Amino acid sequence: MTDEVDLIVLGGGTGIFAASRAAKLGLKVVLVEDRKIGGVCLNWGGLATKTLTSTVELFKNIKKSNQKGIVGSLSLNWDKMKENKDIICSRFSKFPEMFLKKDGVRIIIGHGEIISTTKVKVISEDNEEIISTKNILIASGSKPISIPGVELKNPILDSDQMLELESIPKDLIIIGGGIVGLEFATICSNLKSNVTVVEMLPKLLPNEEPEVNKFLLSNLKKDGIEVLVNSKVTKVNLVDNYVNVKIKTPSEEISRNADKVMMAIGRKPNIDRQKLEAMGVKTTSRGILVNDRMQTSAENIWAMGDAVFPHLIANVAIKEGKVVASNIAGKDSRMDYELIPRCCFTIPEVAAIGLTEKQAREQGLEIETVKVNFSAQNFRAVASNKTEGFIKIVTLTDGTIIGATIVGASASDLISEFTIAIKNKMTAKEMSEMIFVHPSFSEAIQNALEKIQGLSMI
């Protein structure tokens, strides 16, 4: 048995941020990861898919740039794209390990099993040991789920398996029209796959502004993607070398054949509920129960990220891990879920923060809204040929900003300006008085802010 440590982190995905912060705060930390440091985000998720979407976006921009003087025949090569994705993921995933070791974190590649509230058995390739610890952080992430009775096995794939395809399927059905499904639909359709997206809910991204759904449906159609909303998959059959999918739409029951089917209906936490509850850790079918300090019902066991649900996004998990580390180090840190930026990496991107118009009205708030085209008085958008999209802002009647939606180039970057504004309860007038770079995409925000005040040129 090794000497007692202050913290064992079970999971080397976003758990690396908790481990690093804890070590920087003077704690003795062990990190256990059973696959690759960086987890899903660095190896099979965020970094991998953003590498692919950036290539697709570049391709789309060049395709429509004849008037800019770019001429010639172009095509996307999946083998080269996948090779580039693998190189970038491999290169980048080395940095967390390097920095963690520099911070003094001991890294073990192996399986960690909680055997008591103060002991963890760690089984690696060539060793087995029991480590005593003052605190345990469960950062075990999640895994994709499938519809009942349908096994995730080739040719029915999850998002991880999609990234390892030998070739892009001629016909692809994606079950689930959330952010993961739409991102892969965008990638594959531009690689000349015939893509059908089946979404059970009446709208895409139903918790966002209705204008987002309308824009996405129109834009995806331009890419040749068929989107079936308010539709349910009733049966999936393997037939020789293809998959037959029965789909119930609002008007009829239809049949579609595909080379591959991607399951993108959600994920479930990687936890053993029975063992955790034996340790005094309360759980539900959706994950581990924690308080706003990320502490479970067992005082020295903490949890973060996909293991706790319901925010299955990396930026939330990163913040949760830092909250845990601060609390273990003796500080009083709390998790606030009110202001979480929400992004969907279609082309162009969709990003939002705070309340939508509908949500604000349901709360009985007296509000005003404004919506402007992304390209309105935006020289950078026009010059870059990235004019698609819009900005919508929701304010109280005194001008205080309570919500914003951006659809357009670099929306995931631009939304942070509204995150700061809403956090600090800024009014549209106060935010508009800042000097924005000219020309830049951010001027779209300034135009919308000035329109609220009746001061815009547009």
Give catalytic status of residue 438 as yes or no.
yes
Token pair listed for 260: 């591959």
Rounded distance between C-alpha atoms, residue 279 and residue 271, angstroms:
13
Question: What is the three-class DSSP state of 202?
Answer: coil
- Is residue 435 within 8 A of residue 382, CB to CB? The reply is no
Q: What is the DSSP track for 63-91?
A: HT-GGGT--S-----HHHHHHHHHHHHHH
Look up tokens 């500080």; give the residue.
331
DSSP assignment of 266-312, as one string? -EEE---HHHHHHTT--EETTEE---TTSB-SSTTEEE-GGGT-S--
Beta bridge partners of 371: 392
Are the C-beta atoms of 12 and 29 separated by less than 8 Å? Answer: no
State the Cα–Cα distance between residues 341 and 314, nearest whole angstrom.
11
Torsion of CA 132, 136, 142, 147, to 10 degrees: 90
Given a contact cutoff of 8 angstroms between Cβ atoms, the answer to whether 407 and 212 are in contact is: yes
Cis peptide before 439 (omega within 30 of 0): yes
Contact 44, 184 (CB under 8 A): no
What ranges make up the beta strands (E) of 134-225?
Answer: 136-138, 142-144, 156-157, 171-175, 194-198
- Judge whether 301 and 138 are in contact, CB under 8 Å: yes
- Of the listed 284, 424, 438, 458, which one is catalytic? 438
Please tell me whether residue 6 adopts helix, strand or coil conformation. Answer: coil
Contacts of residue 95, Cβ cutoff 8 Å, sequence gap at least 6: none
- Nearest CA to 443 among 372, 340, 349, 369? 372
Active site residues: 438
